[in-house]
């Protein structure tokens, strides 16, 4: 089985919309740097960034899949 290891950067639930947008902008800027691209290449990582609603949709899809698989293999 091959499964990617994903991570999330979280903020408080009551973050203002302006701060949330700024936070996403900072991450977008970081992802465009040569340093980040080198980190991806060095670690053989894929850049599959999903922010906000896209990340929420990702979690809603993948968490039930992961739970089902873990139950299926008896863990």
Question: Where exactly are the structural domains of the chain?
Answer: 17-72
Which string of DSSP letters, residue by residue, matches 23-70? HHHHHHHHHTSHHHHHHHHHHT-------THHHHHHHHHHHHHHHHHH
| Residue written as token pair 């980040």 | 36
User: What is the tens place of the pLDDT at every residue in 31-66?
Assistant: 999 999 999 999 998 888 888 788 889 889 989 998
Cα within 13 Å of Cα(41), Cβ side: 6
Percent of the chain with pLDDT over 70: 96
Percent of the chain with pLDDT over 90: 51
Residue 1: pLDDT above 70? no
């Amino acid at each position: 089985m091959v499964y990617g290891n994903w991570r999330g950067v979280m903020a408080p639930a009551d973050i203002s919309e302006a701060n949330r947008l700024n936070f996403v902008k900072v991450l977008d800027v970081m992802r465009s740097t040569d340093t980040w691209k080198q980190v991806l290449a060095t670690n053989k990582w894929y850049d599959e960034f999903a922010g906000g609603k896209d990340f929420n949709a990702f979690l809603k899809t993948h968490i039930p899949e992961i739970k089902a698989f873990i139950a299926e293999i008896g863990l």
